[in-house]
Amino acid sequence: MKFALLMLIAALSVNAQASNCETSGILDRITCPSQTLEISGPHLTREVRYAIPKGKTPRGGWPTVVLYQGSFFDVEFSRQKLMPFGGYNEIRLIQSLLDSGFAVVAPRAIAGVAWMTNLIGVDYETSEDFYFITEMLSEMKKGRFGKLNMMRLYATGISSGGYHSSRMAVSFPGVFKALAVESASFADCKGPVCLVPTAIPENHPPTLFLHGELDTVVPVGTMYPYFDTLKAHGIETEFFVDPTARHQWLEQAPELITQWFLNHP
Task: Give the pLDDT confidence of 67-123 residue by residue, as tens digits.
Answer: 999 999 999 999 999 888 899 999 999 999 999 999 999 999 998 899 999 999 999
At residue 44, the pLDDT reads 77
User: What's the pLDDT score for residue 11?
Assistant: 42
Task: Answer yes or no: is 16 within a domain.
Answer: no
Q: Is residue 13 predicted with pLDDT exceeding 50?
A: no
Confidence label for 7 from pLDDT (cuts 50, 70 and 90): very low
Neighbours of 14 (CB within 10 A): 10
- Measured CA to CA, the distance from residue 194 to residue 126 in angstroms comes to 22
- Domain count for the chain: 1
Instruction: Identify whether 198 is part of a domain.
Output: yes
Question: What span, in angstroms and rounded, lies between the C-alpha atoms of 4 and 10?
Answer: 10
Residue 10 placed within a domain? no
DSSP string, 111-163: TTTB-GGG-TT--GGGSHHHHHHHHHHHHHHHTBTBSEEEEEEEEEEETHHHH
CATH code at position 92: 3.40.50.1820
63 has pLDDT over 90: yes
Per-residue pLDDT at 3 exceeds 90: no
Is residue 171 a part of any domain in this protein?
yes
**Does residue 168 lie in a domain region?**
yes
pLDDT for the residue numbered 213: 98
Q: Which domain holds residue 51?
A: 31-263
* pLDDT computed for residue 12 by the predictor: 40
The model's pTM: 0.92
Is 190 among the domain residues?
yes
- Per-residue pLDDT, 241: 98
Domain assignment present for residue 138? The answer is yes
Which amino acid is it at 56? K
**Does residue 14 lie in a domain region?**
no
DSSP of 20-54, one letter per residue?
A: S-EEETTTTEEE---EEEEEE-SS-EEEEEEE--S
